[in-house]
Amino acid sequence: MPRPTRIEYEGAFHHVMNRGRNQQTIFHDERYFMAFLNTLEEVSEQFDAMIHAYCLMSNHYHLLIETPKANLSRIMQHINGIYTQRHNRLKKRDGPLF
């Protein structure tokens, strides 16, 4: 059964998390952590998202995001897509990460 559609509204706070595919490592060293943090900074500027807290573990992450423009799905699509590209470039591979 699919997850119910998330209700999005202006000014909402969301706790979101994502785990590596098959619980694989998604942050191998500091370069990967920095690539992810750079992605968060870009998202904050581009989509007016406010990242209030984050926790980066080796195989998953947690974020507390405020969305003044009710655009969480677009934000998460950008975070996961861009970080996957950056991860794959650093790892010299291709394919899904999450």
- Determine the topology of domain 12-89 in CATH: Alpha-Beta Plaits (3.30.70)
Q: What is the pLDDT of residue 12?
A: 95
Place of tokens 């790892």: 91
Considering only CA atoms, give the Rg of the chain. Answer: 13
Q: What is the pLDDT of residues 35-48, one digit of tens each?
A: 999 999 999 999 99
Q: What are the structural domain ranges in the chain? A: 12-89
Q: What is the pLDDT of residue 5?
A: 79
Q: What is the pLDDT of residues 39-92, one digit of tens each?
A: 999 999 999 999 999 999 999 999 999 999 999 999 999 999 999 999 999 999
Cβ atoms of 20 and 60 within 8 Å: the answer is yes
